[in-house]
Amino acid sequence: RKFSPVIMTPVVCVVGLGLFQIGFPQVGKCVEIGLPMLILAIVVQQYAPLYFRHIHERTTFLFERYSLLLCIGIVWAFAAILTAAGAYNHVSLKTQQHCRTDKSFLISSAPWIKISYPFHWGPPIFTAGHSFGMMGAVLVSSFESTGAHFATARLAGATPPPAHVLTRSIGLQGIGIFLAGLCGAPAGSSVSVENIGLLGLTKVGSRRVIQISTGFMIFFSIFGKFGAFFASIPLPIFAAIYCILFGIVAAVGISFSQFANKNSMRNIYIIGLSLFLGISIPQYFAEYTASAGRGPARTNAGWFNDIINTVFASGPTVALIVASLLDNTLEPRANENDRGLSWFTPFLRRRKGYSDPRNEEFYSYPIRVHDFVPHRFL
């Protein structure tokens, strides 16, 4: 309820821009594959529809939906040809890892069928230090998910998510993390930033797409040969896609500023400072950790070090903390209209008759789940 467009602008921007290290820096590790993928994706997504729409109006729809799949298939085949032709036989091992499509016999070594089950790696072990460190990671994931949910709603043409919807989504994410840990996954579940950009690119925001994608992921996790086949795609291909998708998410963050007074020096100050610190502080923590082998926070309490180093290594978390602190302390009541709250507040109400009627359409449970869930959890 304390969020305003002034806060969401830098947070959503950093959700996209904070991942710049897995964008073009990864493309550059295999330029002959990554750069053609980036150029081809731009041409097929933006320029090809302008030309082919004169032939048939249906072509625009096809390019919007399937342009990325087409580009991945073309460049992946090109990478396979280079690998088979021996283009990487006499290059460094690092280059081979990023360019080859037959990395370490990935497909041949993968099992045909493998089913994960609870406590696959043994019974769980709980230690206070690791538990507090994970609390910091979960806190960071919650902050990042908040910005990602607002970006998703904006690209899907939905109303801004109310507080109870954010709470519900973070709670379901917690259940996902619990199940992942139960089955021995090395990392918990989190919001996929690339899927947010993909939603804006393809203009497909249906829940059915997510359900079908979930089925594919379960299938590939069980049948290892198929999963290994897709895992053989060179990483620079994905990095080229990230350059586009993360850029879309960052631009969505900028679009939130239209609901606030962009001529207010107060708003400019808050957005600029939180955006800059949201990128600069995590970069400092990353460089310090890379050189010293530990984070900048170093006290006798290891759990405290883990929390501080985790929180301030996350760009969206830093941006959210700085923007929320400034926006809610610099004369918030006197600047409600400049902050954009007059536009934001109606969407955050929950009571019928006071909230936006579209909220129930966008954020109700699917498949009549609301008939079985208590109202306070909806």
Distance, CA of 266 to chain centre: 29
Q: Can you give the pLDDT at residue 350?
A: 63
pLDDT of residue 135: 83
Question: pLDDT value at position 85?
Answer: 93
Amino acid 179: pLDDT: 87
pLDDT (0 to 100) of residue 73: 94
Q: Quick one: pLDDT at residue 278?
A: 96
> Quick one: pLDDT at residue 117?
83
3-state secondary structure the chain: CCCCHHHHHHHHHHHHHCCHHHCHHHHHHHHHHHHHHHHHHHHHHHHHHHHHCCCCCHHHHHHHHHHHHHHHHHHHHHHHHHHHCCCCCCCCHHHHHHHCCCHHHHHHHCCCCCCCCCCCCCCCCCCHHHHHHHHHHHHHHHHHHHHHHHHHHHHHCCCCCCHHHHHHHHHHHHHHHHHHHHCCCCCCCCCCHHHHHHHHHHCCCCHHHHHHHHHHHHHHHHCHHHHHHHHCCCHHHHHHHHHHHHHHHHHHHHHHHHHCCCCCHHHHHHHHHHHHHHHHHHHHHHHHHHHHCCCCCCCCCHHHHHHHHHHCCCHHHHHHHHHHHHHCCCCCCCCHHHHCHHHHHHHHCCCCCCCCCHHHHHHCCCCCHHHCCCHHHC
Q: Is the pTM of this model over 0.85?
A: yes
Going residue by residue through the chain, which has 378 residues, state the pLDDT in tens, using 9 for 90 and above.
678 899 999 999 999 999 999 999 999 999 999 999 999 999 999 999 888 888 777 788 888 888 999 999 999 999 999 999 999 988 998 898 899 988 757 777 788 888 888 888 888 888 777 787 788 888 888 888 989 999 999 998 888 888 888 888 888 888 888 888 888 777 778 888 988 999 988 888 888 888 898 899 889 888 888 888 888 899 999 999 999 999 999 999 999 999 999 999 999 999 999 999 999 999 999 999 999 988 899 888 888 888 899 999 999 999 999 999 999 999 887 788 888 887 777 676 666 555 667 777 777 777 666 666 666 555
